[in-house]
Amino acid sequence: MGKTKQLYEGKAKKVYATENPEEVIVSYKDDATALDGLKKGTIAGKGAINNRMTNFLMQLLEKNGVPTHFVEELNDRETVVKKVSIVPLEVIIRNISAGSFAKRYGVEEGIVFTQPTIEFSYKNDDLHDPLINSYHALALNLATQEEIEKIKEMAFKINEVLKEYFLSLGVKLVDFKLEFGRLSDGTLVLADEISPDTCRFWDAKTGEKLDKDRFRRDMGGVEDAYREMMNRVFGK
Ligand code: UDP
């Protein structure tokens, strides 16, 4: 399976067509952006870590009954995935207060919720990904009622699987962002990535941040944090 032409270049990944119209190849970059694109940089080794970690987690989710776009890892940075049309929603699940939640509602970070929360943002760079509710998503025709129900169900299921898995590695899954896509027959599958770029990971003992917040907040030690998460997942 080889790349034919580049279809798209995003902030952290490139997407290429293949000979199979139902499959594309994603190529993960070391480029990082944050704060709505205002902050740009690179995190050495990030592309390979995010690629390998995403693929491992997608396969774990498949084993637990969650359909995903994963097909085959080609090499450190590149993976064959099913071609989807992305539902233009960022789906965020939170177990513990942090980031925009803490800021928006004026609470400290680290409050453990009795139940996880879900929220949606409209994926639209020009509008800066505004927070919306599911009625807004319906009004804007971003997804059908059935799709929204399915997305909620899948997202909470994914949270249960990932929360338990990361805790077994001594990591608290604070919050994360998911994206879903439709296959050519309309089936909804989990797409995009699950990595330290898209999740908040806190060491369960020390509370140390092991994710992109180290880059967003200029804390230093970003590469080490990504490597630490890689080592926990792949057991070095
Ligand atoms: N997130 C993401 N992409 C985005 C926005 C958020 O992957 O464009 C992830 C982020 O890494 C975190 C979770 O979603 O794990 C919640 O992010 P939050 O809303 O707190 O926004 P932030 O403070 O990171 O801007």
Q: Does ligand 1 come within 6 angstroms of the Cβ of 123? A: no
Shared fold status for 6-82 and 85-228: no
pLDDT at position 190 over 80 = yes
Q: Does ligand 1 come within 6 angstroms of the Cβ of 199? A: yes
pLDDT tens digit string along 7-63?
999 999 999 999 999 999 999 999 999 999 899 999 999 999 999 999 999 999 999
Give residue 107 CA to ligand 1 midpoint distance, Å: 17
Q: Does ligand 1 come within 6 angstroms of the Cβ of 99? A: yes
CATH tag, 6-82:
3.30.200.20
Q: What angle do CA 107, 109, 112 make, to 5 degrees?
A: 95
pLDDT more than 70, % of the chain: 100
The 3-class SS string of 43-103 reads: CCCHHHHHHHHHHHHHHHHHHCCCCECEEEECCCCEEEEECCEECCEEEEEEEECCHHHHH
pLDDT for the residue 10: 94
pLDDT for the residue 35: 92
> Which H helix or E strand runs over 182?
strand 171-182
Q: Does ligand 1 come within 6 angstroms of the Cβ of 212? A: yes
- Pair 226, 43: CB distance under 8 Å: yes
**What pTM did the predictor assign?**
0.97
pLDDT tens digit string along 130-175?
999 999 999 999 999 999 999 999 999 999 999 999 999 999 999 9
Q: Does ligand 1 come within 6 angstroms of the Cβ of 230? A: no
- Pair 73, 59: CB distance under 8 Å: no
Q: Best substitution site from 33, 50, 92, 209 to test ligand 1's pocket, by max atoms within 8 Å of Cβ?
A: 92
User: Phi and psi dihedrals of 133, rounded to 5?
Assistant: -105, 175
pLDDT at position 236 over 80 = no
pLDDT for the residue 41: 97
Measured in residues, the chain has a length of 236
Question: What's the CA gap between 197 and 191, in Å, rounded?
Answer: 15
pLDDT more than 90, % of the chain: 99
Question: What's the CA gap between 181 and 126, in Å, rounded?
Answer: 21
Pairing type for strands 171-182 and 89-96 reads antiparallel
Give residue 197 CA to ligand 1 midpoint distance, Å: 8
Pairing type for strands 171-182 and 188-191 reads antiparallel
pLDDT tens digit string along 194-214?
999 999 999 999 999 999 999
- Identify the three-state secondary structure at position 159: helix
Question: Could you say which architecture CATH assigns to the domain 85-228?
Answer: 2-Layer Sandwich (3.30)
pLDDT tens digit string along 80-138?
999 999 999 999 999 999 999 999 999 999 999 999 999 999 999 999 999 999 999 99
Instruction: Name the residue with the closest Cα to ligand 1, atom 10.
Output: 198
Q: Does ligand 1 come within 6 angstroms of the Cβ of 198? A: yes
Atom of ligand 1 nearest to the CA of 102: 20
List the domain boundaries for the chain: 6-82, 85-228
222 CB-contact burial (10 Å; exposed 0-12 / middle 13-18 / buried 19+): buried
